[in-house]
A and B are shown apart, each in its own frame.
Chain A
């Protein structure tokens, strides 16, 4: 059956436009990054990547992302469920509040955490007297990363769950399914791709965040230097190749998560086809 925009001409034109514009706008910068990273050959690229401080930065960055994702996931699902399945006073406000991280410039986001949890902040000062330091150590980095990335999962889920409505879940509950079963058997299959997108965006942003992290990290090499911060230092120090090698790594991490997503999608679609 014919669908909108299925005419060959329209189809080709639209695809050509999309590919062409993305090529110029998105792919070209990516190519430029890799071109710079390898501009002095693979061995220079490799020696930059296998440097101890770079490896440590990679480890720290991935570790932070791994800790960030579950937190954002639980919060995102809970919030999306709340605002799309129930109506209650203050629903819109709640939904707007989770956008605060988008509304706050990353540097300011880092700053507000610093003002609160830093040595002169009222929580930070109290913690300091117990010799607990959150800022300028990895918990601080984790905290601001969660702040910056927490809207993504919820943001992905809300429009979709709103568009889907709650008919199916209500039917399941009326038929006697428990809440958890309903969520797992009815909701989850419907939202899983959006959920996955959410995780991927969370991961991408967590890995790449610079502004907020730079304020609370202290950028101690081999300790609190994340990959984006390390990159910045290399760049400042005229090691452009090293900086772009790190940039290429970050792009690669993003592309790998996306490849993983594509793989999952493919397997799922095969299972469905056989079922």
Chain B
């Protein structure tokens, strides 16, 4: 574990560029990310905790948390499986149309979310290309929370694919050749050899997809139906507050989403750090 030893000698810092990269990162994060966020909290400064609590626990808002979190969880799960499959196929196999498939992956990022929303709503409405036969199977999508989950999955699929892909690409050929030559079946070898390397990327990607779904607005609003207590998402609650010139209310609900998202992301990062350390033979 010479690598590990070198890493631990980090206090001596073999590699250069600490000061420079730290400088750039901290300056950028402070100016671009943290400073504007203070604006959000500035809005909340005038609220007592009781007032804040009343705003964020209003019945309809709470219902919207449920809808949003439930749909985002389903979307993230779909994406974990689907994203892993896509990343695997794109990295490991060659087949006609592979480039096109690869290109398609970034489509959800490139389309303005509103376009995605309108298009999905058109496709999955009861008279759309997809919706009409889903309707025949008695599986209505548009105007239900399934539609919300679908729109979320669409907008966040690149997170999983694009996080898993580079790690998979970077995995040495010898790893799975060795496993196969020892006679393991595909399933076992995948679980034992590949997955340990992929976990951090897969969880990170899925986590990002989940978090992104929590805040998504444009893509969902067209397909959601927006019925109070049933298919209203939290981002819509924020939007409504803004329409009412209620910056404080909007900021309060936005801060809830922000806290939850940040806590999740922090958890993922800490977990990932532990995991990578264990992978590289450090202390668990």
Contacts and interface: CB of A to CB of B under 8 A. Distances in A.
A160 B112 contact: no
A14 B179 CA distance: 20
Contacts of A264: none
A272 to B, nearest CB: 15
A106 B215 contact: yes
A86 B16 CA distance: 10
Given A3-B92, A147-B33, A14 B112 contact: no
Give the bracket for the number of chain A residues in contact with chain B: 35 or more
B15 A86 contact: yes
Interface in B247-273: 247, 250-251, 254, 257-258, 261-262, 265-266, 269-270, 273
Contacts of B232: none
A122 B85 CA distance: 49
B108 interface: yes
B110 A78 contact: no
Contact of B25 (A78, A106, A170, A174): A78
A235 B118 contact: yes
B278 interface: no
A211 B217 CA distance: 8
Contacts of A121: 39
B53 interface: no
A67 interface: no
Nearest to A33: B119
A7 B214 CA distance: 39
Nearest to A266: B99
A5 to B, nearest CB: 6
A2 B21 CA distance: 42
B160 to A, nearest CB: 12
Contact of B103 (A91, A205, A258): A258
B16 to A, nearest CB: 3
Interface stretch (B55-63, B137-145, B197-205): B197-205
A193 B169 contact: yes
Contact of A207 (B110, B200, B235): B110
15 contacts: A2-B180, A4-B180, A15-B95, A26-B154, A82-B25, A97-B34, A103-B258, A105-B215, A105-B257, A116-B39, A155-B163, A163-B167, A173-B15, A204-B110, A247-B111
Interface of A: 1-7, 10-11, 14-15, 17-19, 21-22, 24-30, 32-33, 74-75, 78-79, 81-82, 85-87, 91-109, 111-113, 115-116, 121, 143, 146-147, 150, 155-156, 159-160, 162-167, 169-170, 173-174, 178-179, 182-183, 193-194, 197, 200-201, 204-205, 207-211, 228, 231-232, 235, 243-244, 247, 250-251, 253-255, 258-259, 262
Given A4-B92, A4-B186, A108-B40, 15 more contacts: A2-B180, A2-B181, A3-B176, A4-B176, A15-B93, A33-B111, A86-B15, A100-B258, A103-B257, A113-B39, A115-B247, A116-B39, A150-B32, A178-B16, A201-B106
Interface of B: 2-3, 6-7, 10, 13-18, 20-22, 24-26, 28-29, 32-40, 42-43, 82, 85-86, 88-90, 92-93, 95, 97, 99, 101-116, 118-120, 122-123, 129-130, 153-154, 157-158, 162-163, 165-167, 169-170, 173, 176-177, 179-181, 186, 189-190, 193-194, 197, 200-201, 204, 208, 211-212, 214-218, 235, 238-239, 242, 247, 250-251, 254, 257-258, 261-262, 265-266, 269-270, 273, 276, 280
